[in-house]
């Protein structure tokens, strides 16, 4: 990534006995990729730090969708996607939309890439029935799912806030889909982390030989090309970034939302960063 030079000028004007004293201070700050902690050997190529007051629609599509897959019980409404205090906010609530009992937020990046390192720093919701997800998917309108794979960087059940899962789905058709997945618990100092208590960085490194999954730079899972019988190396489509909070659905099993669930729930996203080597 090219270094950027920012110039800030501060002008102090002081009037006294017809004299105007103008003091000009010029501060030049050289900002490079190390300022945001680029991992060694990687180059930042795309990011969103969510520093504005609204979603940057040059980077993201805000989803309006009333018929989601996987027996999910929410519809996606654009009003559930906001930016506040440096975070993308995806809000799930028990307000009906369409024929669904719940509504929530989802965004998909307009930018796509094949291979690299994706990092998403996020704080997850916590209640029975929520299903937050951070994932990569080729455009399903161009490549039918899962013929070009699906990389699930992070998924979580709201009733089990100390466990996240990472996964890879692939196959020539939905009927012939195969997948590999693994649960992960983070336990620094022998104490399990509740992923809804604070922000954590979820990442994947993707090349034609392997997927490597991380939480807070802890490498917890790998899927090799051999594990997919050569499919990973044959995958050729670039993928977009998807961020969403589903409600109910197949992933949460018997932990569907009910009268004990607490609403609203939010997933806060501090940044999304993509690197290449």
pLDDT 10s digits, 120-132: 999 999 999 999 9
> Residue 104: inside a domain, yes or no?
yes
* Position 242 in a domain: yes
Q: For the chain, how many structural domains are there in total?
A: 1
**Which residue, among 55, 127, 49, has the nearest Cα to 90 in the 3D structure?**
55
Query: What pLDDT band is residue 36 in, cutting at 50, 70 and 90?
Result: low
**228 in any annotated domain:** yes
Examine residue 25 and state whether it is found in any structural domain, yes or no: no
156 inside domain: yes
In a domain, residue 210? The reply is yes
Mean pLDDT of 65-75: 97
Round to whole Å and give the CA distance between 102 and 247.
7
d(CA 117, CA 107): 19
The predicted-structure confidence for 75-110, as pLDDT tens digits, reads as follows 999 999 999 999 999 999 999 999 999 999 999 999
Question: How many residues comprise the chain?
Answer: 277
How far, in Å, are 16, 161, 162 from residue 187 at the CA level? Answer: 64, 13, 9
Q: Which single residue is written with the structure tokens 């000009």?
A: 24
CB 87 within 8 A of CB 50: yes
Q: Where are the beta strands (DSSP E) in 17-76?
A: 19-31, 43-48, 60-62, 74-76
Note the maximum CA span of the chain: 86
Residue 252 lies in a domain: yes
Domain limits for position 91 = 39-276
Distance, CA of 272 to CA of 202 (rounded, Å): 10
Query: What's the CATH code of the domain at 215?
Result: 2.60.120.200
| Cis amide leading into 7 (omega within 30) | no
Q: Taken in order 180, 183, 184, 190, is the CA torsion positive or negative?
A: negative
Render the burial of 32-45: b for 16+ CB within 10 Å, e for the rest: ebeeeebbeebebe
The answer, yes or no, to whether residue 207 has pLDDT greater than 90, is yes
How far apart CA 131 and CA 141 sit, in angstroms, is 24
pLDDT in tens, 139-181: 988 999 999 999 999 999 999 999 999 999 999 999 999 999 9
């Amino acid at each position: 990534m090219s270094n950027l030079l920012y110039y800030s000028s501060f002008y102090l004007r002081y009037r006294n006995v017809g004299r105007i004293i103008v003091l000009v201070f010029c501060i030049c700050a050289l900002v490079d990729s190390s300022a945001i902690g680029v991992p060694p050997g990687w180059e930042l190529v795309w990011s969103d730090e969510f520093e504005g007051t609204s979603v940057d629609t040059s980077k993201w599509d805000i989803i309006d969708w009333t018929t989601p897959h996987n027996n999910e019980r929410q519809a996606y409404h654009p009003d559930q996607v906001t930016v506040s205090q440096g975070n993308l906010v995806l809000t799930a609530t028990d307000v009906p939309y369409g024929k669904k009992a719940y509504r929530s937020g989802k965004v998909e990046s307009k930018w796509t890439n094949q291979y690299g390192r994706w990092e998403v720093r996020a704080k997850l919701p916590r209640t029975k029935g929520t299903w937050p997800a951070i994932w990569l998917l080729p455009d399903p309108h161009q490549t039918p799912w899962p013929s070009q794979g699906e990389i699930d960087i992070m998924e979580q059940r709201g009733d089990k806030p100390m466990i996240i899962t990472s996964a890879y789905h692939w196959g020539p058709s939905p009927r012939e889909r195969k997948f590999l997945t693994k649960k992960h618990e983070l336990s620094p100092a022998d104490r399990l982390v509740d992923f809804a208590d604070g922000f954590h960085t979820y990442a994947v490194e993707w090349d034609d030989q392997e997927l490597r999954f991380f939480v807070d730079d802890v490498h917890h899972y790998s899927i090799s090309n051999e594990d997919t019988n050569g499919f990973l190396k044959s995958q050729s489509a670039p993928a977009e970034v998807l961020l969403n909070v589903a409600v109910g659905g197949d992933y949460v099993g018997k932990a569907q939302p009910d009268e004990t669930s607490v609403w609203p729930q939010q997933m806060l996203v501090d940044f999304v960063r993509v690197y290449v080597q």
